[in-house]
């Protein structure tokens, strides 16, 4: 893999005031924070402010203007991890520096959709994610945190001429998502509609938050997924061994066996619920019952990663099966899209997001 990558940023919006910001951790510079400057080529490594001085502005202009609708701007990025290409319309984004960041540079305060006092709270912005390392390029459009008004699409053309494309949403995609959330709220009485964020005094939505971040708008989904967990625990439970059963007799078969394809060295692992411990044991890794917060966040409780590569490979696939409620529909995971969101409770935000994407693709579960 090359040490740099050239990307064409194309403005397919109706605005002539669209800006891109490119951030990441510079792999070849001890993972220091890096920006592309406004020329789309020069690198800026923000210096750490003195100890005690927080929320300091950047010292370079890093807003890359995309020009009028239809215009294309070429930018060149270095190898980076945790990269993002941010886009904003009409207003530039504000990034701030704090002391003691990675690689000896600044810690970066990125735009937040969760903090109403953030200087970017009312800015129309979006981003996609990427990592470019010595082996390969990873890139995705993401809705894990929110659905933006600005739709983002990705196209990759390899040296052989092969093309991979993710279409994203249509121009009215956010409006469709918000309509779907409101319809679901009317159907089940849950506060899906409260995830729609609007500027004060305006009817047009600015973004829709993931239910993971419902607390930012006063919405709680506490207890939502627990009935699904109960059904899953019952489905994959080993029958209780009768006290009179002799030790040498075979253990009774479970009602169903969960199978997780780790898509890695451990291969396909089987799992059942052990009633004595009330744990779901998959490939020797024991998982306690997740809460709704664990399922929505995918990084807490039983889904906290650690030193075991096997457990770390199971976690995202198991969490996704709960998000999609497919864990009680089929036993093999990851499962096919036709098994997603088929029973209640399920992540209707993710369901609606996929429905509203032109090709059904997008990182949202």
User: Can you give the chain as a three-state secondary structure string?
Assistant: CCCEEEEEEECCCCCCCEEEEEEEEEHHHCCEEEEECCCCCCEECCCCCCCCCCCEECCCCCCEECCCCCCEEEEEEECEEEEEEEEEECCCCCCEEECCCHHHCCEEECCCCCCCCCCCCCCEEEEEEEEECCCCEEEEEECCCEEECCCCCEEEECCCCCEEEECCCCCCHHHHHHHHHHHHHHHHCCHHHHHEEECCCCCCEEEEECHHHHHHHCCCCCCCCHHHHHHHHHHCECCCCCCCCCCCCCCCCCCCCEEEECCCCCCEEEEEEECCCCEEEECCEEECCCCHHHHHHCCCHHHCCCCCHHHHHHHHHHHHHHHCCHHHCCCEECCCHHHCCCCCCCCHHHHHHHHHCCCCCCECC
Q: What is the pLDDT of residue 202?
A: 87
What is the model's pLDDT at position 349?
Answer: 98
The per-residue pLDDT for 243 is 42
Whole-number pLDDT of residue 59: 98
Tell me what pLDDT residue 319 has.
98
**Domain ranges in the chain with CATH number 3.30.920.50:** 225-344
Mean pLDDT, each 10-residue run in order, the chain (365 residues)? 91 98 98 98 98 97 98 98 98 98 97 96 97 95 97 94 96 98 98 95 94 96 98 89 43 74 97 96 98 97 98 98 97 97 97 96 84
Model-level pTM? 0.92
Domain with CATH 2.60.110.10 in the chain: 4-141
- Which CATH entry fits the domain spanning 4-141: 2.60.110.10, 1.10.10.10, 2.40.50.100, 3.40.50.720? 2.60.110.10
Q: Could you confirm whether domain 225-344 is CATH 3.30.1220.10? A: no
Q: What is the pLDDT of residue 240?
A: 59
């Amino acid at each position: 893999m090359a040490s740099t990558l050239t990307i064409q940023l194309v403005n397919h919006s109706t605005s002539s005031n669209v800006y891109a910001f490119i951030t990441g951790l510079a792999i070849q510079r001890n993972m220091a924070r890096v920006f592309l400057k406004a020329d789309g080529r020069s690198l800026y490594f923000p210096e750490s402010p003195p100890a005690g001085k927080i929320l300091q502005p950047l010292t370079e202009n890093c807003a890359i203007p995309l020009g009028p609708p239809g215009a294309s701007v070429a930018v060149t990025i270095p190898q980076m991890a945790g990269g993002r290409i941010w886009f904003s319309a009409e207003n530039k984004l504000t990034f701030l520096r704090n002391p003691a960041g990675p690689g000896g540079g600044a810690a970066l305060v990125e735009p937040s959709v969760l903090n109403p006092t953030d200087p970017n709270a009312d800015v129309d912005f979006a981003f996609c994610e990427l990592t470019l390392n010595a082996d390969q390029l990873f890139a995705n459009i993401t809705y894990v945190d929110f659905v933006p008004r600005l739709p983002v699409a990705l196209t990759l053309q390899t040296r052989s001429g092969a093309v991979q494309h993710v279409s994203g949403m249509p121009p009215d995609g956010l409006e469709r998502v918000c309509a779907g959330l409101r319809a679901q709220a009317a159907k089940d009485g849950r506060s899906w509609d409260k995830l729609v964020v609007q500027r004060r005094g305006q009817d047009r939505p600015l973004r829709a938050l993931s239910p993971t971040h419902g607390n930012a708008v006063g919405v709680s989904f506490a207890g939502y997924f627990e009935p699904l967990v109960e059904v899953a625990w019952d489905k994959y439970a080993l029958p209780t061994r009768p006290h009179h059963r002799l030790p040498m007799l075979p253990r009774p078969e479970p009602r169903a066996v969960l199978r997780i394809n780790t898509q890695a060295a451990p291969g396909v692992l089987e799992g059942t619920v052990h009633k004595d411990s009330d744990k779901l044991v998959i490939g020797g890794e024991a998982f306690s019952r997740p809460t709704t917060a664990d399922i929505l966040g995918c990084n807490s409780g039983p889904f906290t990663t650690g030193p075991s590569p096997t457990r770390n490979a199971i976690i995202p696939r198991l969490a996704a099966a709960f998000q999609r409620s497919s864990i009680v529909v089929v036993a093999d995971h990851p499962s096919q899209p036709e098994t997603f969101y088929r029973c209640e409770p399920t992540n209707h935000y993710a369901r609606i997001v996929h429905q509203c994407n032109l090709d059904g693709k997008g990182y949202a579960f």
